[in-house]
Amino acid sequence: MIEKPHHLPERLGLLSATAVDPFLTEDLLKGVQGHGGVDLAKVVEPLPEDDARWVVEPLRDLVDDAMYQFKDNRTDADGWLAPRMHATLRLTRREAADQRLWNHLALAVAPDYVAFRHPPAAPRGGGTPRINRDRFKGAADRQCFSRLWWLAEMFRNGADYAPVVAGCANQDLIHNALRMDLLDHRPTAQALVRILERGVVSTGREINGLITAINTAGATLVYDALAPDEAPDPEALRRWITEAETARPVPRHDLPTGPDEEPVPEEAVAALTEYFTELFETAPVRGRVPQG
């Protein structure tokens, strides 16, 4: 299995997709051996040194703890790591949309975690097991670390990360959620979590059926009208980011606290939860016998 890089950078940087390619060696993708990191450091674009958010040590400590704590059930690491990584990095959405940051985190800081969470798998039809390249340098819904940050961003309810943990408990929801444009609508995200918690849906087929129905209905129904929500105050996020320099390490046993934004209105979540539950009752789900 891949070990922790011998040359660990002190700060995060930006690593372009083309710069990543030479380091995605066969040995790395097979999970046999990583890289020293010295040559990789030469092609990294530095981030401002006066920003405490880019210090690598807190992130490296988190992935080390995750690998130790979840060695017997690796998928459970998502719900633990996502909120803590989000609260440690304290990014704006614009910053998080820069895939070069996640490329650097995956390849230079924690390639061993990528191999731990997404180990080599044989391709369809057989062949040599390899780690999917997308876990190192893929799209936001596939890359090992960016998917966790965006899940935390979309499912948190203001400062409360509890819905993130609930959402991450179901891998089928994770796989579908980041492809939904509607998750920019906060009540939609919270309603999905609530439906999951109530056991309305549980299997992959049921979740796929529900999300397909939500997307189809969303083409003709404006969810903002059914479940209005005020945009969060941007000043709360700015304060939270500014406080990163003096923030203590995120707790390991309790959830961290996010930016001090207003939570989603309860009446909006309740309205959408009821509506989505009704949608699911008539949604086509493969293998389910229609009622009535």
Q: Looking at residue 259, what is its pLDDT?
A: 97
Q: Looking at residue 165, what is its pLDDT?
A: 97
Q: Looking at residue 35, what is its pLDDT?
A: 73
Which amino acid, one-letter code, is at 282? T
pLDDT, average across residues 178-198 = 87
pLDDT greater than 80 at residue 37? no
Mean model confidence pLDDT for the chain:
91
pLDDT greater than 50 at residue 292? no
Q: How far apart are CA 111 and CA 121, in angstroms?
A: 16
pLDDT, average across residues 122-149 = 92
Q: Looking at residue 125, what is its pLDDT?
A: 80
pLDDT, average across residues 218-247 = 90
Give residues with Cβ within 8 angstroms of 82, minimum separation 6: 148, 149, 151, 152, 164, 165, 168
Tally: H helices and E strands in the chain: 17, 2
pLDDT, average across residues 72-94 = 97
Better-scored residue on pLDDT, 235 or 141:
235
pLDDT greater than 90 at residue 133? yes
Predicted TM-score (pTM) above 0.85: yes
